[in-house]
Structure 1
Amino acid sequence: MLKRFYELRNEIADFMKIKDKPLSELSDPKWICNLAFLVDLTGYLNYLNFKLQKQGQLVNDLYSHLKAFQIKLRLWESQMLSRNCYHFNTLSAYENIAYAQYVEELKLLSEQFSNRFSDFKNMEDCFSLFVTPIKYNVQNAPIHLQMELIEIQENSLLKYKFEDVELCDFYKKYLEEDNFPQLRKFARRLICAFGSI
């Protein structure tokens, strides 16, 4: 919606003049430049939102999307500090870009993401264990999971199946409740989307 408004800004300005209600903002180069920045940033946020809402993802996938976006924010911030707005296509069409202002906006957004998703950051080791139980360092695992991890890591069939099947299927089909109760409980708690593991 914001992008469409930006694209029609001249027509909107003309229409408002005809209605005898001119909008001075639409002829202010600084305001238009800020709008261009928001158009680009909103486009990235919309794309992140789209990726987060995709069906069939596990919590570690969502965390990967969030982490990647936070890294992008830091990249954009660094590039803006260097007066580079390459990744902001709409903004790059303008001169007199308020780089320092946009650096601050990106920094603020990055801080908000860090605060909002700090629970995910605190669970990063759990996600890593969940996604790579075959390679996870047993010494670093929670003590109640260590024995079962050793069993998985030393079982050639399970190692093969882990590489060959979807992660959900590995926990559902190949880790029997009798032999791996703690790992299955761990997976159930971590991921609600599993259904009946």
Structure 2
Amino acid sequence: MAVQSWSDLLKAAKKTALISDGKRKVHYLFTDGTEMAEEYDMKTDELLSRRLRSKSRLGGQGAWQVEVGETGLSLTETEEIKENSSNPVFMRKDTKTSFQWRVRNIPYPIDTYKVTVEPLDRCCIIRTTNKKYYKKFNISDLDRCQLPLESSALSFSHANNTLIISYKKPKEILALEQELMRELKKLKGTNEGDVDCKTQ
């Protein structure tokens, strides 16, 4: 089963944990050289961010791809061209029971939005009836575990110029996350500043 193979990959990966600012930061190094970095809230065990990086074609380090959390892209002061702050911002922020995406700076009324699941394309699509916004995105957790997408698990709401799309996590994902959290709590994490540095 695919859920089991992803679970096995996570168990086989070399893991390093660091505890800092009330967050458990875990770095995974998979056998193929792919890296994954996750941050969890220490109190709630909620996933705050997940980033993935693969080797480039020439074998160097690729760029980090943000899967969960804010991108955190910051421009240097010397750069003059930057994205308009009123443009829609798409990001993923999960809860304990659902995958959740937020589209900020999108002020249209709720009946303007149409959010659908495309099981054959393995993606979700956000459309507006006024044709001002269109976004196609996949649910990478379901793709990795090769679980089907179901329209009944999808819901959305709109408040404060933010469209919130929720997809209820299947029981297989919930079980995998609980198992993973038990494993992560067994890891001995070092606190920031506790790193043993050798002097010359």
Q: Judge same fold: TM > 0.5, yes or no.
A: no
TM-score normalised by structure 1 residue count: 0.23
Structure with the largest fraction of helix: 1
**Higher strand proportion (structure 1 or 2):** 2
- Greater relative CO, 1 or 2 (CA 8 Å, sep 6+): 2
Which one has the largest radius of gyration? 1
